[in-house]
Amino acid sequence: MSLTTILSTATSGLIAAQTGIRTVSDNVANANTPGYVRKAINQTSLVTRGVGAGVNVEGITRVVDQYLQSASLTAGSSAGSANALSEMLDRAQGLFGDPSSDSSFFGGLDQALATFAALADDPASSLQRSQSLSALQTFFDDSKRITSSLVQIRQEADTRINSNVNRANDLLAQIAQLNIDIRHAKVGGADSSGSENIQSQLIDKLSTLVNVQTQQSSGGGVVIRTQDGMLLADEQAGTLAYQSSGTAAGFLTVKPANGGGQVFDGTFSGGEIVGLLQARNKEIPGVLAQLNEFTAGAAREINRAHNASSSVPAPASLTGRNTGLDLPTAVTGFAGKTTIALLNASGVLQNRVDIDFTAGTMSLNGGATSAFTPAIFLATLNGQLGVNGAASFSGGALTVAATTGGVAIQDDATTPATKAGLGFSQFLGMNDLIRSATYPANTGLASTDAHGFTAGQVVTFRLSLPSGARVRDVNVTIPAGTTMANLLSTMNATGTGVAPYGQFSLDANGRMSFASSTTPPASLSVVTDNTSRGVGGPSLSSFFGLGTSNLVSAASGYTLDSVVYQDPTKMAVAHLDLGVTAGAPSLAVGDGRGAGALAAIGDSLSGFGAAGGLPAANMTLSRYAAEFAGSLGRNSAAADNAKTSATSVQSEADTRRTSYEGVNMDEELIRLTTYQQAFNASARLIQAVNDLYDTLLKVV
């Protein structure tokens, strides 16, 4: 071996040792720097013609483990999603207060019912009537307040999602730019670990927003993809977009880096954005649905008792609510008997029209019967009332007025008139204490009834997953077939309807609902609705209460009847007694049976639809309140447990990753000593070569 070869070998060793010492120095200096990954040099032997010729430093690399990094990123995404969801549900639960406290939302209804019980003992008390109405108004005001707050939570989620989407786009752009820098550095043989550390930290931040898949590129840097393979970042960056406004908001899209401008639905399963989307699209609407179901149930039972009662004296006229139906359809399907009574100012019965829906007859004061059909119901009723009163129907509402005195309606005690689980007066809302601008869930329509919507009109539904990914937009065209069965068939058909992603159904009370058949369940929203029931009537979605926007309107739209609220003496707290002797009053001022019925609504069975995880069931209002409160607590606790678990997993994954990637001072000291010894050995070898050269020169 020549002296030149020996000198070259020693020089390569000296350079390698210097590089190693510099690398150790960087590691030690950044031991406490967050996100720093320790570096190591890659050395290979130089061989010339089969003979060792020194050592070569091929590069400086970061000490990383792909599997530990992947586990850490996944854990970060899960923790981000769980934290966001837990925070939102905790806030939603807090709006209702402690269920065991009288000051909670649920306690508000109990207090209102207690005032009705006191009113039953003293029905003539104006003060007690005012207190009852005030307590009831407070309960429905609380429902409106909670609904508004839940809407605000959803809007806040929209704001945070938009902000996080912008952050994610910025991170993707920076990651793509760093890929270019890293590859340029590697081509030039420079140390790219600094850029790689920065990029790694950016990827960690990105994973807390959305879950992504990473892959090391052969040329340096990383490739970022969604879980279904869409390219988010290489040397170019894709972009995320979020639809936060409109009737079908809550929709996440992705424009891939290599997609040629194409836009695809977002398919993420973790990260803060996904947690916020799940809260916004599923959990909060679920709470809204339960709140509406409970509030609607309370309104329904209050109106049931109020419609079965009358004020004293009876009002001069009764006007129902807008049913959204034409009168023939509204009275079709009734069975049983009801009585429209006309009374004087003293509550003495003057005339009565008995209606037997089962037999299809009417009679005045027990006289001869007149047959009727739904088509001639109004004309027949006016014929029976004669000069004593008049009935009219306008804007979906029935009005019955007495010529003199007042009017009251009472269903038969043995075979009461009933449709969709409601009495005659209640179904038409003739004497409602609780009013609403929205249509009732129990429409009373059966599959054989005419749907009433104009053929050719279109409603567009959007099916989307809780994560914001769209399943499908469905354009439903009102069919030529006129029955509800025809409409449901079209809405559920493949191609023209929601199949195979779910199904619409109509229950025995005419309540329409949608059930998803996908996993996870898809939610239904209304993109556009150009339908109308009859001329100027309600749209299909508003009539059946489909979509979150209609849900919000319903939950916040309950108010006390303005006439009664302004004049508590018009509150219906007495029962009409048609069995009294002739000339005796059928309505008495001291009768508090109607107030007693109002006080007892908490224990009366009522039908509740499926809402927010609670199944459809027949139960008392008090029981549903307990189930509702329990559901809020369970969901919040489950989200909190998931948050704790995800945070623990994230901590463990980060600890293991840090222990592998982080700087160990003892190990670095050993490496420093090794490199110093190698440096000294190379230096001594150079000195030895120098001495040999000197000796040879002296010999010459």
For 17, other C-beta atoms within 10 Å of its C-beta total 24
Q: Is the pLDDT of residue 248 over 70?
A: no
Residue 684 binned pLDDT confidence (cut-offs 50, 70, 90): confident
Residue 402 above 80 pLDDT? yes
Whether 257 and 375 share a structural domain: no
pLDDT at 247 over 70: no
pLDDT of residue 209: 95
Query: For residue 617, what is the enclosing H or E element?
Result: strand 617-620
Report whether pLDDT(596) > 90: yes
Mean pLDDT of the chain: 91
**DSSP code of residue 603:** G
Percent of the chain with pLDDT over 90: 67
* Whether residues 404 and 509 fall in one domain: no
Higher pLDDT, 391 or 692: 391
Residue 254 in any domain: the answer is yes
**Is 276 part of any domain?**
yes
185 and 78 belong to one structural domain: yes
Q: Are residues 267 and 186 in the same domain?
A: yes
Asked if the model's pLDDT at residue 43 lies above 90, the reply is no
CA pseudo-torsion sign 686, 692, 696, 699: positive
* Closest by CA position to 476, among listed 515, 449, 450, 503: 503
Residues 234 and 277 in one domain: yes
Residue range 304-353, pLDDT digits in tens: 999 999 999 999 999 999 999 999 999 999 999 999 999 999 999 999 99
- Band (pLDDT 50/70/90 cuts) for residue 293 is very high
Domain assignment of residue 366, yes or no: yes
Kindly state the average pLDDT of the residues 19-36. Answer: 85
Whether 232 and 194 map to the same domain: the answer is yes
Residue 196 belongs to a domain: yes
Q: Is the pLDDT of residue 372 over 70?
A: yes
518 and 369 belong to one structural domain: no
Q: pLDDT tens digits, residue range 96-123?
A: 998 888 889 999 999 999 999 999 999 9
Whether 320 and 462 map to the same domain: the answer is no
Residue type, 372: F
Q: What is the C-alpha to C-alpha distance for residues 365 and 386, in angstroms, rounded to an integer?
A: 12
What is the per-residue pLDDT for 351? 95
Note the pLDDT tens digit of each residue in 529-587.
Answer: 999 998 888 999 999 999 888 888 888 889 999 999 999 999 999 999 998 988 899 99
pLDDT at residue 647 is higher than 90? yes
Domain assignment of residue 98, yes or no: no
**Domain span at 322:** 316-430
Q: Report if residue 109 sits inside a domain.
A: no
pLDDT in tens, 156-187: 999 999 999 999 999 999 999 999 999 998 88
Q: Is the pLDDT assigned to residue 445 strictly greater than 70?
A: yes
Those residues whose C-beta lies under 8 Å from the C-beta of residue 506, and which sit 6 or more positions away, are: 445, 446, 447, 484, 488, 512
Q: What angle do CA 623, 565, 139 make, to 5 degrees?
A: 30
Domain-embedded: residue 390 = yes
Nearest CA among 234, 196, 215 for reference residue 59:
196
Residues 82 and 221 in one domain: yes
Pair (199, 231) in one structural domain? yes
Report the domain count for the chain: 4
Are 38 and 72 in a shared domain? no
Domain membership of residue 258 (yes or no) is yes
Residues 253 and 215 occupy one common structural domain? yes
Which of 520, 544, 568 is the endpoint of a domain? 544
The residues, any chain, with a CB within 8 Å of residue 635's CB and separated by 6 or more, are 89, 93, 283, 286, 613
